[in-house]
Chain A
Amino acid sequence: MIEARETQTPPVEAPPRRRAPAFTAERIDMSHGAGGKATHKLIEGLILPAFDNPALAPLADAATLVCGGLRLALTTDAFVVHPLRFPGGSIGELAVNGTVNDLAVSGATPLGLSVAFILEEGLETAILRRELEAMAAAAKRAGVAITTGDTKVVERGKGDGLYIVTTGVGVVDPALSLSATSVRPGDQILCSGTLGDHGIAILIARGNLELEAEVLSDTLALTPLTKALQEAAGPGLRFMRDPTRGGVGTVLNELARDTGYGIVIREETLPVREVVQGACEILGLDPLYVANEGKLLAVVAPDRAEAALEALRSVPGGEEAALIGEVREEPARMVLMHTQFGGTRMIDMLIGDPLPRIC
């Protein structure tokens, strides 16, 4: 059998305690928008210091503002996806669901949304009308109203057709205390469904990789899932986040960093559609880092984990929910994965956009 090994531990330790990184790049490049390390550096090194205030500091999906006896959640999101329409959805649908979801994972019931449109000169009215209808339908499904907004037009060449910014406000359920600080070693990590559907759907829709596959974006309002989770897990629900750009791998790293604990996941439990796995294998991408628009990650106390899983699976959109790992004391602030092969590897935070590779 495999013998005990002598060790010479390589000197690289867990990432140091978080302090504001310096943002030194002279120009913004595409990696700053990918949701990984470069994005974090931009936010923490340049933006946070400029606005510095206690509500912003946690850098959660939504800010919590206290008003009278209520906790309000406030969130905003910009949508610049291209192409505007893709299998499974469109930019309008994303714009509504994305903001509803940031409220939902903060444990908030949405009160209302606002929307700002940046329209490019030359955009066909038919396209705009279609997106407005998509947004209205998504808002109706999510049970929220678009209550105010703004519209601007920019010159041809300066807008990629249509950009949408949505902002949402909601009331946080007083019974909930969702935060990284609530997380404890032993807590279980649940994922509500398959990884990477949205990101791969977009890559295929862009066309320049010439892949044909039936992959639909998973864009979805998560509120029914979050409600089911809250009911089933009660005070055992510690934390929720939706893994959008940067994928599940990024959220797990954020969680490890914010809690100071380690996270261990098992590769064989990760739900991935075969066709998404195929596309990722062709391009050399890792589904862990590919964007999702209709999934959530939840951290649940161990005694509620089974019930929480069943609850997720009983809601449309959560059928493939899985228990993917747990929180541990060690290795601090790192994410490890037990591979399906029987080894272990680290899941580090993404640097920039995952780029298709040939090597």
Chain B
Amino acid sequence: MCLAIPGRIVEIVDADLQLAKAEISGVRRNVNIGLLDEGEGAVQIGDWVLIHVGFAMSKIDEAEAQRTLQALEEIGAAYQQELEELHGSRIE
């Protein structure tokens, strides 16, 4: 149920058939964008999507991805600082 991977839409192959070409690390496959082709959020060339069994399930929001990574990196930085303080405070 859960194997879905991020890919970039590089071409609209057939709008009627709702087919687009997605690229994942140099591998290309046609994917069906019929779950994401309506409304203002409709998927376009250049968008990143989550692909599951040949269908694009959702658009990947780059800004949110950055936010998530940033939150993780802040934890990382705090941890790093703690480690440095720990080492620095060692009594030689």
**A interface list, Cβ under 8 A from B:** 210-214, 274-275, 277-279, 281-282, 284, 357-359
Contact = CB atoms under 8 A, between A and B. Distances in A.
Counting contact residues on chain B (CB < 8 A from A), the size range is 10 to 19
B28 A358 contact: no
A210 B30 contact: yes
Contacts, number: 41
Given A274-B25, A358-B53, 6 more contacts: A210-B29, A212-B27, A212-B29, A213-B28, A279-B27, A359-B2
B26 A211 contact: no
A274 B27 CA distance: 9
A278 B27 contact: yes
Contacts of B2: 359
B53 A278 contact: no
- Which secondary structure characterizes the binding site on chain B? strand
A357 B3 CA distance: 8
Nearest to B3: A284
A250 B1 CA distance: 27
A358 B1 contact: yes
Given A274-B25, A277-B25, A359-B2, A282 B30 contact: no
A213 B3 contact: no
A210 B32 CA distance: 13
Contacts of B71: none
A282 B29 CA distance: 10
Contacts of A284: 3
Given A284-B3, A358-B53, A359-B3, A213 B30 contact: no
A274 B26 contact: yes
A279 B27 CA distance: 6
Contacts of A274: 25-26
B24 interface: yes
A214 B25 CA distance: 11
A275 B26 contact: yes
Contacts of B5: 281-282
Nearest to B4: A358
